[in-house]
Amino acid sequence: MKRVRQRLGERIRAVSILPLAATLFLAGIVAAGEMPAVRTEEHAVRVRVLVRGLEHPWSVAFLPDGRMLVTEREGRLRIVRDGKLEPKPVAGVPPVAASGQGGLLDVVLHPRFVDNGWIYLSYAARGPGGVGTEVARARLTQDRLEDVKQIFVMQPKVGGGRHFGSRLVFDRQGHLFITLGERGDQDRAQRLDEHLGKIVRLHDDGRIPQDNPFRARAGAKPEIYTLGNRNVQGAALHPATGELWAHEHGPQGGDEINIIRAGANYGWPVVTYGRNYGTGTKIGEGTHKDGMTPPIHYWVPSIAPSGMAFYTGDKFAKWRGDLFVGALRDEMLVRLRFDADKVVKEERMLKGVLGRIRDVRLGPDGYLYVLTDESDGVLARIEPAGG
């Protein structure tokens, strides 16, 4: 242990002489639990590792009693109690197809969880034709799920291990949005007779809202809310407008942030800022087309965005209202400041500090929490330095 501390001290002293904006090569000090302070543009922060040993964690949710739920892509739902990972996974999780990018994905609480006890899980599951995203709700009782009910099944299920989505977000009216990917078959994102490459909208029990935009269109899946989405892995409600904002992966470049509106076509693969992998050749018809909604922000080259959250807490006053996006590529956290729907500031922080950031959430305590997509993944909290 003494030798480890000496090595950590040497690494910290070495980093301290570099410019503050330089890439921080500090992954080795995760074992110390608390990392040295890092100066961002607005705040000095400290990253505190709370839990280690998670296998490709995907999502975190906060229970009212202080416990946290964490999904592991391999199919396990874990409980963090008093800062410690419970050794036994939660029992009763539906069968999960953990392959490629698929597995146990998002977990969220019902807006009235205190009254009804419902939690919601999205996951890849096998069925006729292959694998696809499904959603189930269940009641959490002690360390098991009860009253498990499947409320959504992606149709059709197909082969391959790419682009499952999937974030779950409740809006202020209690509707459930489910974000999906096109499973690597890009042209299907424009078809209204299947769910691939769409965002769907349901009631909390799986019923289809009467005002869904394609409900009355012959041949269309009535669950569909938007189309032309490539692979949506981040979504959050805007704190002022209540609208759903989401980002999606582009191919080689062209990651997007979109404001999600009923019936909108976000263009994939007809229009995109991305290019074909490897060759860099053009995809589709360009970057704009009448009748297709352009992104409000995009990245070229890609950052490989993951979870996202608006900051509305009280621990970082200068960040209030900003949007935080996790990035798998370059292992960083991206902060965006908007004036209405226009980005006026982008900051890239914590680059290389933790690893591939898979999820970012605002906790009920006002801190930001992140998960890393690693075989030995961590749950970490971002705090004010000295706080």
User: By C-alpha distance, which of 258, 269, 323, 263 is closest to 294?
Assistant: 258
How far is CA 125 from each of CA 49, 71, 154, 232, 249, rounded to the nearest angstrom? 31, 15, 9, 18, 22
Separation CA 72–CA 120 (nearest Å)? 15
How far is CA 149 from each of CA 40, 99, 119, 164, 205, rounded to the nearest angstrom? 44, 23, 11, 20, 9
Separation CA 233–CA 257 (nearest Å)? 11
Total number of residues shown for the chain: 387
N- to C-terminal Cα distance for the chain? 26
The DSSP symbol for 211 reads T
Separation CA 180–CA 162 (nearest Å)? 11
The DSSP symbol for 280 reads -
| Residue owning tokens 């739920």 | 69
Catalytic-residue membership of 163: yes
User: Going by C-beta distance under 8 Å and a sequence separation of 6 or more, which residues neighbour residue 194?
Assistant: 155, 156, 188, 221
For residue 38, give the 3-state DSSP assignment: strand
Phi, psi of 232 (to 5 degrees): -95, 110
Q: How many Cα neighbours within 13 Å face the side chain of 243?
A: 11
What strands, in cross-sheet order, belong to the sheet with 323-327? 305-310, 323-327, 332-339, 342-349
Query: Annotated catalytic residue: which of 163, 195, 247, 249?
Result: 163
Catalytic residue numbers, as ranges: 163
